[in-house]
Amino acid sequence: MYEENDIAVVLGTRPEIIKLAGVIRNLGARASILYTGQHYDAELSESFFHTFKLPPPDLLLSGISGSHRSIQISSATYQLADYFRQTRPRLVIVQGDTNSTLAGAQAANYCGIPVLHVEAGLRSNDRSMPEEINRRLVSVLADIHCAPTSWNAANLVSEGIPLYAVRVTGNTIVEATCESLPGLEESREILARYGLCENEFILTTIHRPENTDDPERLAEILDSLAEAPIPVLFPVHPRTAASAHGFGLTERLSMVRHVPPMDYSTFLALASQARLLISDSGGIQEECTIIKKPLIVVRRNTERPEAIAAGFAVRVSHRREISEEIARILTMSELARALVNRPCPFGDGKASERITEIALTMAEGGALPPSQAFGEFSYSPELHGTHGGAAGRTLRRSPVEGGSLAQ
């Protein structure tokens, strides 16, 4: 008989809550929730825990939110290690590539506790991204790596991670999105609340430092959104709002219909009814393949090439490319029908079940079954179609992302 709360789950951001909720619920009394508060907001955090039917955290760290990255990681590592020394969990689960993820993995490793890394093996190969450094370091610390796709698993093996330590599980975002997506009637009520018409608007989010910390870059993005031929709804991240104000770009921001951040279900409802998504978010690159919507990824590179290879997304960089892709996609009359029939490359909605089984086996000291060949949740890097323009340049610029939006 094993003790309650003997599997520690470390999270600190809203995406981590979303993606680990199913695993935490499956673990039941075995799970203890350790919340670093990296994205702490009393109202929003409580809302996310409530939305995903999670109990309050067993531990809430202090002094993390709003601090410099170095302080977030060092302080969270210290506080978590102190907690682990006192409670001695059998296993620590971390997810993704946040500062909280790295702190949790380090603290567990320093205390001699096994680490299970969920969403392992994503790679952008861009060391200027803090997330890239975090996920690579966690790969060194983790004992078992749950890779969402065969592409991610291959990344890990190519870096010297032994095959027996890698499992292809799918991505938990699939079940989280399906669980959180409102029905059609409720989605239409949300549309009406925002004064929007189905399939006649663009939904956008921009928050990454590469886009918000450069005034010229942010101005280009805002200008391209303002030029769009159909309405653009822009839930503005606090970082983006602060940058727009600090760089004197509030007038440009006012040219687009901007609204405060919204809860996850509301966002998914709007995304499912939009004609087109534009974002620099990693999560939306996954969600677009589940709700079957086209996405323009405004990034220099991406750690999720699957969405592009599967034909749901195209990556662009400069203002002219953004505007070209908006115009091109809006003229593709058969695109919506084509996307509905494309499979999601991120799994079958059973990732949480697989990860829970692995976690329980690790916590109980059992042997995991041999790792299978990486056949599940793979994708072909071949194009779904050919085209020129900005998308064609994108593919030539980044051959690892072999694929893009096409009819």
What residues are annotated to the active site? 207
Record the tokens describing residue 407, joined without a space: 């009819």
DSSP state of 301: -
Integer Cα distance of 314 and 293 in angstroms: 12
What order do you get walking across the sheet with 115-118 strand by strand?
A: 59-60, 31-35, 7-11, 91-95, 115-118, 144-147, 166-168
Integer Cα distance of 361 and 363 in angstroms: 6
Integer Cα distance of 139 and 120 in angstroms: 7
Residue 381 neighbours by CB under 8 Å, 6+ apart: 305, 309, 402, 403
Record the tokens describing residue 374, joined without a space: 């990486």
DSSP of 15-28:
HHHHHHHHHHHHHG
Phi first, then psi: give them for residue 31, nearest 5 degrees: -90, 140
Identify residue 116 by its one-letter amino acid code: L
Where b means 16+ CB within 10 Å and e means fewer, 85-96 reads: eebebbbbbbbb
Integer Cα distance of 171 and 147 in angstroms: 8
Integer Cα distance of 43 and 53 in angstroms: 15
User: Helical H runs in 199-278?
Assistant: 209-212, 215-226, 238-246, 250-254, 264-273
Contact 229, 330 (CB under 8 A): yes
DSSP state of 147: E
Contact 19, 172 (CB under 8 A): yes
Burial class (CB in 10 A: 0-12, 13-18, 19+), 373: exposed
* Per-state percent for the chain, helix, strand, coil, to nearest 5: 50, 15, 40
- Closest CA relative to residue 11, chosen from 89, 83, 81, 80: 80
